[in-house]
Amino acid sequence: MKIPIGIVDDKSQNRLSLQEKINYSSALEVVMMATDGNDFLEQMKQLPAANHPLVVLMDIEMPEKNGIEAVRMGKQLYPELNFLMLTVFDDDDKIFEAIKAGATGYLLKDEKVPVIIECIQQIVEAGGAPMSPQIARKALNLLMKASLPEKGAGDGEIIDSELSSREMEVLKLTVEGYNYKVIAAKLYLSIHTVRKHTANIYSKLHITSKAQAIKIANKNRWI
Choices 1.10.540.10, 1.10.630.10, 1.10.10.10, 3.50.50.60: CATH for 158-219: 1.10.10.10
Angle CA 52–23–210, to nearest 5: 65
- What is this structure's pTM? 0.65
Q: Which residues contact 156 (CB under 8 A, 6 or more apart)?
A: 219
- Domain coordinates in residue numbering, the chain: 3-140, 158-219
Q: Which residues contact 94 (CB under 8 A, 6 or more apart)?
A: 60, 68, 87
Choices 3.40.640.10, 3.40.50.2300, 1.10.10.10, 3.20.20.140: CATH for 3-140: 3.40.50.2300
Q: Per-residue pLDDT for the chain (223 aa), expressed as one digit of tens each?
A: 899 999 999 999 999 999 999 988 889 999 999 999 999 999 999 999 899 999 999 999 998 899 999 999 999 999 999 999 999 888 778 888 888 889 999 999 988 999 999 999 989 988 888 888 878 777 766 666 554 444 433 333 444 457 888 988 888 888 887 888 889 899 998 888 888 888 888 878 877 777 777 788 877 777 6
Q: How many CB atoms lie within 10 A of CB 52?
A: 17
For 132, the 3-state DSSP assignment is coil
